[in-house]
Copies of this chain bind each other. A is one copy, B any other.
Amino acid sequence: MKFSKLALSTSKNRLNSDECLSHRILLQSGLLRRYSSGIYGNHNLLVRSQEKIKQIIRSVLESYDCVEVSLPALQPKYIWEESGRWNKYVDSGQMFSCKMSNGTYCFAPTAEEAIFTFVRDTLKSYKDLPVNLYQIGPKFRNELRARGGLLRSKEFSMMDAYSFHSSTESLKEEYAKMKEAYFKIFKEIGLNVIPVAAMNGDMGGNLSEEFMFISDAGEDVILVDSTGKIGLNTELLEMENIGEYLQSNYGIKNIDMLSQKHCIELGHIFQLGQRYSTSMNGTFQDRNNNSIPYFMGCYGIGISRTLAAICEQNCDKNGLVWPESITPYAVYIAYSIDKHEEAFNLYSTLVNENVEVLIDDRDLSLGAKIKDSKLLGIPYMVIIGNKAKSNIYEIETRVNGQKSHMSLEQLLNLFK
């Protein structure tokens, strides 16, 4: 891609605000555009990175036999009346609802009602279970305390999965598998996450765990053990038998063994049990022809938030530093104006080899281009200064600033 086609204007100055560093870099780079509180547009580089996150999620979930579907974001009121959540969600002011001449609708912040309506006439026998269906798409929530751009916005991208089972044992098995799948997903994306035991909140049901990314930009306070592998949401401290719970579930004898940290919540997995299947009349016939409500699990990953966490984990004073697995472009070509032809020859060669290249073809000094390459965080930069020798390329690695010189052949090998 040619930079001149991006309609992207970077700024030299970082905003002064109490927002987290990554958010300020995203605004400075022009990658995030604010419309109003909690409403943003995403520029090309963020869209490309998000698509890669989605592909990683799809590929891991498919290997766990999860099936992608697409539920409507626009939903009729009646399905929310069945679950008994319409008034609660609308009265809280958090759900966008519209009274139109031909009916009342909402734009869904979550999709338990929609998935039930989707599967209820299909999953009729124990033979049809277990299944796990997921979707990837926009969700809407009227955040009254919107902040941090991608971190807590009114429109956000999510993966939400729903599993249906004929027994608690089958639900528990799937829950454990999904936990494993989540670790794979976040590992592949390049984020360190901690599973944190939490309350189920609005969702109802029995057990849930949040996948938290430790960051000063986070809002929630969690308690983490010294290995960084056990976490608890502080909400849990309100539980009556918390001491016993810690001892029996984690072998923790004293709450002082845990220290406080701040969390961005990236994912959440729930064992919902029969709460929704009872109210929404979702039942299957067991081996003895009894009608039993499904046992249900649900699993979410905030994709916009994951992107925010990646930016927060991977930035320095010069800008972003994309991990290679989800970088929008692999290489940035910064060149002096009088090296235009050589730069575009290299660009064409790389594009033909399916390397994702961003070439900075703007009428700017080489120094300004190098600054923007660092600000935008592309993993490799090829620098073609006016004294550059032909067929020897200077490469700078964003993550550590290391420079090296390569032939075209070596360069092509680097991207294979």
Beta-carbon contacts of A4-19 to B below 8 Å, as 1s and 0s? 1111110000000000
- Cα–Cα, bound, A47→B41 (Å): 24
Shortest Cβ gap from A234 to chain B (Å)? 28
Complex contact B114–A35 (CB within 8 A): yes
Complex contact B75–A35 (CB within 8 A): yes
Beta-carbon contacts of A189-221 to B below 8 Å, as 1s and 0s? 000000000000000000000000000000000
- Quick one: given A6-B131, A36-B103, A93-B101, are A118 and B68 in contact (CB under 8 Å)? no
Of the candidate stretches A121-129, A247-255, A264-272, A404-412, the one touching chain B is A121-129
- Cα–Cα, bound, A39→B133 (Å): 19
Residues on B with beta carbons closer than 8 Å to the beta carbon of A97: 98
Please tell me if A370 contacts chain B, counting CB pairs below 8 Å.
Answer: no
- Quick one: given A39-B75, A363-B127, are A7 and B67 in contact (CB under 8 Å)? yes
Please tell me if A119 contacts chain B, counting CB pairs below 8 Å.
Answer: yes
Please tell me if A73 contacts chain B, counting CB pairs below 8 Å.
Answer: yes
Complex contact B47–A114 (CB within 8 A): no
Complex contact A30–B142 (CB within 8 A): no
- Cα–Cα, bound, A72→B138 (Å): 10
Complex contact A73–B35 (CB within 8 A): no
Residues on B with beta carbons closer than 8 Å to the beta carbon of A8: 122
Shortest Cβ gap from A345 to chain B (Å)? 18
Complex contact A2–B41 (CB within 8 A): no
Beta-carbon contacts of A43-65 to B below 8 Å, as 1s and 0s? 11011101000000000001001
Complex contact B68–A44 (CB within 8 A): yes
- Cα–Cα, bound, A78→B37 (Å): 13
Please tell me if A154 contacts chain B, counting CB pairs below 8 Å.
Answer: yes
Shortest Cβ gap from A365 to chain B (Å)? 15
Please tell me if A33 contacts chain B, counting CB pairs below 8 Å.
Answer: yes
Complex contact B138–A5 (CB within 8 A): no
Shortest Cβ gap from A108 to chain B (Å)? 11
Complex contact B47–A69 (CB within 8 A): yes
- Cα–Cα, bound, A101→B93 (Å): 7
Residues on B with beta carbons closer than 8 Å to the beta carbon of A72: 35, 39-41, 155
Complex contact B42–A69 (CB within 8 A): yes
The 9 A-B residue pairs with the shortest CB-CB distance in the complex, in nearest-first order: A42-B70, A36-B76, A9-B122, A74-B155, A7-B131, A96-B98, A41-B71, A5-B65, A47-B70
Q: Report A's interface with B, CB cutoff 8 A.
A: 1-2, 4-9, 30, 33, 35-37, 39-44, 46-48, 50, 62, 65-76, 78-79, 93, 96-98, 100-103, 105, 107, 114, 117-119, 121-124, 127-128, 131-133, 135, 137-138, 140, 142, 144, 154-155, 164, 363
Not counting A7-B119, A7-B122, A39-B76, a sample of 14 additional A-B residue pairs whose C-beta atoms are within 8 angstroms of each other reads A5-B66, A7-B118, A35-B72, A35-B75, A35-B117, A36-B76, A41-B69, A47-B69, A72-B155, A73-B138, A74-B96, A74-B107, A96-B100, A102-B142
